[in-house]
Amino acid sequence: MTEYGKDEILELVWTLREEGSSMRSHILRRTEEDQPERLLEELAAAGLLDASGDKVTLTPRGEERARVIIRRHRLAEVLLNNLFDLDNSQVESTACKFEHILTKTVTESVCTFLGHPPVCPHGRPIPRGECCDKIRTEIKPLVTRLSDGILGEEVRIVFITPKSRRRLEKLSSLGIVPGSRIRLLQKYPSFVLEIGETTVAVDKDITDEIYVKKT
């Protein structure tokens, strides 16, 4: 069995746990891998899974390996979703391939470039990495939240992580979309933004979802 297939099972176990499920039957139903039962047995023999009963759980070693896989996959999704013109199916299928070629160093570089995004395009949390822990003292990210921006400085929107599609549509109607140039004019009592010749006031939670870089 390939390491690729084992990683896919570990990723699935992690994802199902987030959804509140850890049953063997759910894993077998959701996986697209050939011979999933054998993969479960091999992962258990390697000390990465506890699959002795109906419930399948990650061991400490399995937890760490799955965490790395999930982090790479979700960072790849953010990168593909926000920097390239791909639909959801293309993002998912490409991210599955992309995650397996990212080294630790490249993964940290991608995360730093993206401004250490907290969630993937589907709203699932992205496990933090070493670069995220160092951000405040050692690393100045190329991409930052608009809410952390400097007043009066023109920046370009790189990506947006809205909590709802309705909010994304509202921002789009205002011209707040990836690629747009924007200027932060005020932070208190509300955040005032300048987009072209338009000025709008928004709450901080919205500016927290807008990631920008200097023009």
Q: Which CATH class is domain 144-214?
A: mainly beta
User: What Cα–Cα distance (Å) separates residue 134 from each residue in 15, 105, 112, 120, 137?
Assistant: 27, 14, 10, 21, 6
For 61, the enclosing helix (H) or strand (E) is helix 60-83
Task: Please enumerate in sequence order all residues whose Cβ is within 8 A of that of 45, keeping only pairs 6 or more positions apart, or say none.
Answer: none
CA angle 140, 98, 102 (to 5 degrees): 50
User: In the CATH scheme, what is the code of domain 64-134?
Assistant: 1.10.10.10
Q: What is the pLDDT of residue 1?
A: 47
User: One digit per residue, pLDDT tens: the chain, 215 residues?
Assistant: 477 788 899 999 999 999 988 899 999 889 888 888 999 999 999 999 998 888 999 999 999 999 999 999 999 888 887 666 566 666 666 777 777 677 888 888 888 888 788 888 888 899 998 888 765 544 456 778 899 888 999 999 888 877 777 888 888 888 888 889 999 999 988 899 999 888 999 988 889 888 888 87
Give the integer Cα–Cα distance in Å for 214 and 142: 8
SS3 38: helix
For 97, the enclosing helix (H) or strand (E) is helix 88-98
Residue 202's DSSP bridge partners are 191
> Helix, strand, coil shares of the chain as percentages rounded to 5?
45, 20, 35
For 183, the enclosing helix (H) or strand (E) is strand 181-186
Give the integer Cα–Cα distance in Å for 16 and 40: 15
Residues in the chain: 215
Q: What is the pLDDT of residue 155?
A: 93
CA angle 34, 72, 78 (to 5 degrees): 110
Q: What is the pLDDT of residue 125?
A: 92
> How is the chain split into domains, by residue range?
3-58, 64-134, 144-214
